[in-house]
Structure 1
């Protein structure tokens, strides 16, 4: 498969401050390729190492207030680790959050700019994901959206149901990609977090974009102007970027 899920991208009011929070939360290194862009990467792994999963934070004038369509779930290795991580995140600036909490042994928090995430209880499936257990996308039809994304990135379906569907790289590295049923609200849904994909070495960005359009993606205009990446939306309208083979992680 010629595309790889390489990172999540946050819109931020203050990319450096939010970057410091997430670097501390994940144990990632922090750098900047230019004003208004903060790059986070696992220690000892440089972009775009295929074993790395990255986080970008890009400053925008005023991120819109939105329903939380995409979130991160963080992994823990023991009840003690979960408690320690929650305490550390609180010291870094996280606050308790009840948004769509549901019932479970996880802890729901919000980062300093209000992005909701969960600190999960220990799970055997997450022992080798790294600090990010899953990227979770809210949607109306988890089964159908997982089918699209499975074809898009060539990931195996681990679970598929009406309420939840889960994908994982066949290489067994990095976070899971999860689709969770979420009731739609009134008006358009925009997210402050999106997924970035990158073509494998030697693959053409244009060919991959054409393939995704045939699978059911559609072009998206978010005011990006002339850029090296292509912005698309999946069949439920979740925007994502397809980077060029030589792109930096600032899309």
Structure 2
């Protein structure tokens, strides 16, 4: 039994507007466009880029997000082009105390932080999104949980940063970066997992709980039935049933 990472989910005051910003910035396309959900995905069907899902927000953004995206660049010139493009689409520069860094910290039109990285060798083949970054008090411990949840092996582990990547070596990294900040309220961004059609979802919930998750509720998440859980640092995530196991009719 196993689960897979399906998407990064944004709570958004204007889901379609923010989805269009990210689609334009990444060069991706809108694959789902409903009142209650807008999905954006890479155009390459063989790629391992995770989809971005935008749902109506349950509350206002408070403080810095604990999950953000790092965007890859191929050169310093490409980094500048990406920053200029993001600004032209409605992003803005922000100061979160980063000081002088080779990467550029921006916020999307609803204030969600993201970084445009300088060229780095480890991100040359990731596609547009270099990494999905999660703030944590214990990088290795949280990475171990998400390795069990996603099936991605741990590629590096340290006191400040731990990283997972698909065993295929394709697609973005999932990275865990140490922070002293304390989580406050529900995360504005979260991850969705999906079980495989042949798997028993109740068994997958039990497996995730044994790995350190806690179950929050059962319900509909963006129209897809599933389970709402939290990881060992109380970051919410959803375990969705595969599309073949339910109908919207």
Q: Is this a same-fold pair by TM over 0.5?
A: yes
1:86 aligns with 2:83: yes
Q: Is the 8 A contact 2:220 2:226 kept in 1?
A: no
Report the Cα distance in structure 2 between the residues aligned to 1:211 and 1:222, rounded to whole angstroms.
16
Q: What residue is the counterpart of 2:117 in the other structure?
A: 120
Q: Distance in 1 between matches of 2:58 and 2:154?
A: 38
Q: Per-residue deviation at 1:52?
A: 4.1
Q: Does the alignment pair 1:241 with 2:233? A: no
Q: Distance in 1 between matches of 2:241 and 2:204?
A: 10
Provide closer, same or farther for how the CA distance between residues 93 and 138 of structure 1 changes in structure 2, counting only shifts above 3 A: same
Residue in 2 that maps onto 1:203:
199
Counterpart check, 1:150 vs 2:147: yes
3-state secondary structure, aligned to 1:172 = coil
**Which whole-Å CA distance do the structure 1 matches of 2:40 and 2:53 have between them?**
6
**2:120 and 2:192 mapped to 1: Cα distance?**
26
Q: Which ranges in structure 1 are unaligned for 5 or more consecutive residues? A: none
Q: Deviations over 1:70-119 (max 9, x none)?
A: 00000111111101000000000010011142553100000000000000
Matched, 1:24 2:24: yes
Mapped to 1, the partners of 2:146 and 2:31 lie a distance apart of 30
| Alpha carbons 1:69, 1:190 under 8 Å: kept | no
1:135 has 2:153 as partner: no
1:215 to 175, 199, 211: 211
Cα distance in structure 2, aligned partners of 1:28 and 1:5: 18
Q: Identify the residue that residue 39 of structure 2 maps to in structure 1.
A: 39
Measured after TM superposition, the shift of residue 207 of structure 1 is 1.5
Which 4+ runs in 1 deviate beyond 6 A?
none
After TM superposition, the score normalised by the length of structure 2 is: 0.90
Distance in 1 between residues matched to 2:16 and 2:31, nearest whole Å: 9
| Alignment check: 8 A CA contact 2:16 2:33 kept | no
CA distance in 2, matches of 1:33, 1:107: 30
Name the counterpart of 1:162.
Answer: 159
Q: Give the Cα–Cα distance (whole angstroms) in 1 for the partners of residues 31 and 150 of structure 2.
A: 27
Unaligned runs of 5+ in 2: none
Tell me how far apart the structure 2 counterparts of residues 154 and 205 of structure 1 sit (CA, whole Å): 16
CA contact (8 A) 1:94 1:112 kept: yes
Which of 150, 171, 182 is matched with 2:168 structurally? 171
Looking at structure 2, the residues matched to 204 and 98 of structure 1 have their Cα atoms a distance apart, in angstroms, of 45
Displacement of 1:59: 1.4
